[in-house]
Amino acid sequence: MGKPKYILLVRHGESEGNCDKSVNRFTPNHIVALTEQGHIQALRAGQVLKDFLQQEILSDVCKKVRNPKSIMFYTSPYLRARQTCNNIIEGIKDLPGVEYNIHEEPRMREQDFGNFQSTPEEMESIWEERAHYGHFFYRIPHGESAADVYDRIASFNETLFRQFQQDDFPNILILVTHGIWARVFLMKWFRWSYEEFESLRNIPHCQYLIMKRCEENGKFCLKTPLKTWDELPESDIDDEEVQKEFKDEVTFNTKGKIHNPEDMDISSILRAQKNAIKASRSKDREIKKQFESIKHGSNYSDKIKSRFKLENQSVANSVEDLSK
């Protein structure tokens, strides 16, 4: 069967809307573009992918069942995601042996926030109501809830599972998408609860989330576990703090041994995430303040704080069931 060895999710680079929310009042969400920094982030992600594909160990892991450098890109049709995908491909398109295909997938679009956004005061009221109601089930006026995103991801996953039945499906599947979509995708895949989803921090721009298939049982294990708001330190951002978070992530994924042969094939990607982690920290702190102000008044705050553990982001629930 052609199930890929690796599934990589990557959030688009920094966009104009990430830097200036007023953009969403005048520009349709699907044509919000990357900033100059966003293009740089995406080009770096292409270099990270190139370094990954150049490893000799990659061929050994794949055991020559198919071209280890064969890639299927699925991208959201939103401009910032397509630009990110194109920038990533710039890093690998001339690499010998690389084969890739690109498909735009409308079901991979970001959560719909309701056409042009209103005044800052009205949007602030919506975000506050959403925080009190719960991010997963709250439906944005004239838009979607994260639960709606979940439903279309379920449909998209069924498409993937059918394609995985093809013997010639590429060795690497890369999903170029958005922050909420990526978290909901993992929630669906690993069967996390909505409380667990609520507790997750956003994903840094152009950071790869690696799902790797285990040879023993054919299931996928998440090798770059997501962080929760409760895990965000209170101290100011500094290099030592970022280094510790980066080190903890790599240590977890390699079972305490950076030279663990099982994950040596993905170690180059893991090591490259340091800049993405650092770039997201200041924005994380701003969002955490909002999270904390609402969490204590919520009737499910205790569940959000206590239920989500790293072991939940595991291989245990990673199985497709086409009967459902």
Active-site residue list: 12, 110
**Is 318 marked within a binding site?**
no
**Is 178 marked within a binding site?**
no
CA nearest to 293, candidates 64, 171, 132, 57: 132
**Is 15 marked within a binding site?**
yes
Phi, psi of 200 (to 5 degrees): -80, 135
**Two structure tokens written together for 240:** 């030592």
The DSSP result for 99-113, as a single string, is EEEEEE-GGGSPPP-
**Is 87 marked within a binding site?**
no
Whether 179 contacts 287, CB under 8 Å: no
**Is 11 marked within a binding site?**
yes
> Which residue intervals of the chain are DSSP H helices?
16-19, 36-53, 56-62, 79-90, 120-133, 146-163, 179-190, 194-198, 239-253, 267-271, 274-295, 301-306
Phi, psi of 175 (to 5 degrees): -105, 110
**Is 109 marked within a binding site?**
no
**Two structure tokens written together for 261:** 């042969």
**Is 198 marked within a binding site?**
no
CA nearest to 159, candidates 145, 175, 144: 175
CA nearest to 258, candidates 21, 297, 249, 71: 249
**Is 201 marked within a binding site?**
no
**Is 179 marked within a binding site?**
no
d(CA 198, CA 194): 6
List CB contacts of 124: < 8 A, sequence separation 6 or more: none
What residues are designated binding site for substrate? 11-18, 80
Per the annotation, binding residues are: 11-18, 80
